[in-house]
Amino acid sequence: MKCEQEQRLRHIAVDLREDIVRIGYTCHFGVHLGGSLSLAEILSVLYFHVLSVKPDDPGWAERDRLVLSKGHGNLALCAALARRGFFPFEGLDQFNQLNSPFSMHADHERVPGVEASAGALGHGLPIALGMALSSRIEDASWRTYCILSDGEMMEGSSWEAMMAAAHFGLDSLTAIIDRNRLSLDGHTRDVMTLEPLAEKCRAFGWTTLEVDGHDVTALMDALSAEVAQEGRPKVVIANTVKGSGVSFLEDRASSHFGHLTEEETHQARAELEEMRAQIV
Amino acid sequence: MSGSTKKPLGLGLSSRDAFGRMLVRLGEGDDRVVALTADLASSVRVAEFGERFPERMFNFGVAEQNMMGAAAGLALSGKIPFVSTYAVFATLRAAEQMRTDVAYMNLPVRICVSHSGLSLGPGGPTHHSIEDIAIYRAIANMTVIVPADGLGTVAALRTIKDWDGPVFVRLSRATEPTVYAQAFRFRVGRGTLVREGKDVSIIACGSCVGRSLQAADALSEEGLDPQVIDMASVKPIDRDLIVAAAEKTKRIVTVEEHSVIGGLGGAVSEVVAEEGLAVRLTRLGLKDHFATTGPYDELLALYGLDAEGIAATIRDLMTPGKHPGSREA
């Protein structure tokens, strides 16, 4: 059973990468390729395994909430929402065009299923914290998830929220840090040291796990409700590769934002086919 | 007789005290109401709400950005958050969360700020707030309310509790001169003519309304007949009332405990210019400088924002050849 689910989630992650590559070629202006590709397994596991949502009723009061704090991963998020059935898939082809609801950053106003607009970094965890407080006031069972970039752990507001979530004992809140080790200007080690990140999270009072962010089984296990401590929020540091799945984008700061040529698109597709072939 | 007269809530209270009392009332009537503060519960008067509804009161510690973002999250989950801290912090420290999280998503967050203007006089420029109206006014979706006194605060809060979208309510640490004696229905986008007159229109907000009335009373003894408008709804502003005032009196003075740039004076100037009104206009406020430190009343006097200062500006305005706009402290 678990093996079948693992294969399914891996296939969906490849689907999402193919979507990112396609839009990366067709869209106007450019997209955040690297930080979208690093999210593929995280979003696959969340939307197709963890989250309780109703795509035909995006405002369902009892749904789990996911805030994509790294709003520049919006292409990956929208691909996941489309594949989950929140809206027709075809709309994504208008990415970045005038009057298209789909553009560089996550937009709650225009895209069903997007729980909060995001793009300015360091905003999502405070918003998710507010949602978790609301869930607690109502004694509700829905949970709140928040995906952060590692770069936005340089923002003071992220740590304000880390401190407060532990202070309020919000065990219905789970943060996932997409630790791809690259922010816009380069390696986070050079831009602003984050390590020891896990130790910092623990010191702030969070149940802290570190996993391979491209291993769907590891993500499923880490995000399982069984891995939890009462009265403590949980953070999963997902070690990922920026641009994951496309060799010429992997682990390069230059993959942060851009556009794919026709030739690059062919190569990327071939590599993703190979990735899919290895799912057994 | 005495048994039938009940003192209306807010009468004689400062706007921040009235806010604290009214917040409890709103919380009693609607369990979606939640209160957020940042280590200023007693100072901004949300402590009483916290005692009554501890499960709906959140103190974020000294961390305003997180508080403002969490307010957005609470509103996204169906709550009506009342966020309260000092005006300067709500405006500047948490500005991007206010704009991007609260206003862009058009969420029903009520940002009710205390210690606005110069009301924490000796606190100095770190704690004065003389840019907040300008900043909040520039934010799309945001409604900006500056009540004149305690009763005005209660009336405004009653109206905006269920308002569709975010609202900024500017409150004072100091007790404002009383403008309203009886409860009334506050309407967003409508100013109130609190004193009728024919020679000059004083358009004021917040604590300046009461002092403008005092100035008008003093001037009336000199034979002048000013009218006073409480423009508590700075955004949206009451264009019709400004047009009528300009046509009637041909002279307008705006008065606010705020920079003359971008606040009430700016808003009124925009209407005057766009409507092509033939009017002599003077903006009274802080003239593009930080205030010094000192007791509140003395600061008001120093910057011409007490009743005497307002009256002096109007005398200049009524004197041919004088340019009150150039008055310096």
pLDDT recorded at residue B329? 38
Q: Is A163 on the interface with B (CB under 8 A)?
A: yes
**Burial of B182 by CB count in 10 Å (0-12 exposed, 13-18 middle, 19+ buried)?**
exposed
Domain-by-domain residue ranges, chain A? 2-277
pLDDT at B167 over 70: yes
pLDDT recorded at residue A95? 95
Among the partner-chain residues A117, A120, A168, the one whose CB lies closest to the CB of B105 is A117
Q: Is B273 on the interface with A (CB under 8 A)?
A: no
Distance from CA of B155 to the nearest CA of A (A): 28
> Which residue blocks in chain A are alpha helix, DSSP H?
2-26, 33-37, 40-45, 74-84, 124-137, 156-167, 188-191, 197-203, 216-223, 262-277
pLDDT at B297 over 90: yes
Nearest-5° angle of CA B277, CA B280, CA B285?
A: 115
Amino acid identity, position A47? Y
**SS3 string of A74-110?**
HHHHHHHHHHHCCCCHHHHHHCCCCCCCCCCCCCCCC
Average pLDDT, chain A: 97
Chain B positions touching A109 (Cβ under 8 A) are 104-106
- Residue B189, number of CB atoms within 10 A of its CB: 13
Tokens 């009335």 label which residue?
B213
pLDDT recorded at residue B320? 82
Q: Is B244 on the interface with A (CB under 8 A)?
A: no
Tell me the fold of B192-320.
Rossmann fold (3.40.50)
Instruction: Read off the pLDDT band of B322 (50, 70, 90).
Output: confident
pTM: 0.96
pLDDT digits (tens, 9 = 90+) for A249-273: 999 999 999 999 999 999 999 999 9
Among the partner-chain residues B56, B72, B96, the one whose CB lies closest to the CB of A120 is B96
pLDDT recorded at residue B323? 67
Count of A-B CB contacts under 8 Å: 102
pLDDT recorded at residue B324? 67
pLDDT recorded at residue B262? 98
Q: Best of B62, B66, B79, B89 to disrupt the A interface by mutation (most A CBs within 10 Å)?
A: B66
Domain-by-domain residue ranges, chain B? 2-170, 192-320
Closest CA to A175 of A165, A167, A190: A165
Q: How far apart are CA B88 and CA B117, in angstroms?
A: 9
Q: How far apart are CA B24 and CA B29, in angstroms?
A: 9
Distance from CA of B1 to the nearest CA of A (A): 45
Where chain A has pLDDT below 50, the residues are none
Using CB atoms and an 8 Å cut-off, which of residues 52-71 of chain B contact chain A? 55-56, 58, 60-61, 63, 65-71
Whether the CB-CB separation of A47 and A54 falls below 8 Å is answered with no
Residue B258 corresponds to which tokens in the numbers above?
Answer: 């705020």
Instruction: Read off the pLDDT band of B300 (50, 70, 90).
Output: very high
Average pLDDT, chain B: 95
Amino acid identity, position A208? T
pLDDT recorded at residue A28? 85
pLDDT at B70 over 70: yes
Q: How far apart are CA B202 and CA A204, in angstroms?
A: 54
Q: Is A116 on the interface with B (CB under 8 A)?
A: yes
Domain B192-320 in the same topology as domain B2-170: yes
Record: contact B77-A131, CB cut-off 8 A: yes
Tell me the fold of A2-277.
Rossmann fold (3.40.50)
Exposure string for A109-120, b = 16+ CB within 10 A, e = fewer: eebebbbbbbbb
Backbone angles phi, psi at A82, to 5 degrees: -65, -45
Q: Best of B30, B53, B76 to disrupt the A interface by mutation (most A CBs within 10 Å)?
A: B76
Amino acid identity, position B172? S
Closest CA to A176 of A104, A108, A128: A128
Record: contact B101-A123, CB cut-off 8 A: yes
Q: Is A109 on the interface with B (CB under 8 A)?
A: yes
Q: Across-strand partners of B145?
A: B169, B233
Instruction: Read off the pLDDT band of B1 (50, 70, 90).
Output: very low
pLDDT digits (tens, 9 = 90+) for B206-245: 999 999 999 999 999 999 999 999 999 999 999 999 999 9
pLDDT recorded at residue B328? 45
Q: How far apart are CA B281 and CA B278, in angstroms?
A: 9
Q: Furthest-apart CA pair in chain B: how many Å?
A: 62
Record: contact A116-B72, CB cut-off 8 A: yes
DSSP 8-state class, residue A48: I
Q: How far apart are CA B22 and CA B155, in angstroms?
A: 9
Chain A positions touching B97 (Cβ under 8 A) are 123, 126, 157
Residues in chain B: 329
Q: Is A134 on the interface with B (CB under 8 A)?
A: yes
Whether the CB-CB separation of B53 and B82 falls below 8 Å is answered with no
pLDDT recorded at residue A83? 98
B189-196 mean pLDDT? 98
- Please state, in angstroms and as integers, the Cα–Cα distance from residue A78 to each residue in A93, B106, B210, following that order: 11, 22, 54
Using CB atoms and an 8 Å cut-off, which of residues 63-82 of chain A contact chain B? 65, 67
pLDDT at B2 over 50: no
Tell me the fold of B2-170.
Rossmann fold (3.40.50)
Give the CA count within 13 Å in the CB-facing half-sphere of B23: 33
Determine if residue B183 is left, alpha or beta; phi over 0 gives left, psi from -120 to 50 gives alpha, anything else beta: beta
Judged by DSSP in three states, A145 sits in strand
Distance from CA of A30 to the nearest CA of B (A): 23
Q: Is B136 on the interface with A (CB under 8 A)?
A: no
**SS3 string of chain B?**
CHHHCCCCCCCCCCHHHHHHHHHHHHHHHCCCEEEEECCCCCCCCCHHHHHHCHHHEEECCCCHHHHHHHHHHHHHCCCEEEEECEHHHHHHHCHHHHHHHHHCCCCCCEEEEECCECCCHHHCCCCCECCHHHHHHCCCCCEEECCCCHHHHHHHHHHHCCCCCCEEEECCCCCCCCCCCCCCCCCCCCCEEEECCCCEEEEECCHHHHHHHHHHHHHHCCCCCEEEEECCEEECCCHHHHHHHHHHHCEEEEEEEEECCCCHHHHHHHHHHHCCCCCEEEEEEECCCCCCCCCHHHHHHHCCCCHHHHHHHHHHHHCCCCCHHHCCC
pLDDT at B325 over 70: no
Q: How far apart are CA B119 and CA A166, in angstroms?
A: 35
pLDDT recorded at residue B299? 98
Among the partner-chain residues A109, A120, A128, the one whose CB lies closest to the CB of B73 is A128
ipTM above 0.90, yes or no: yes
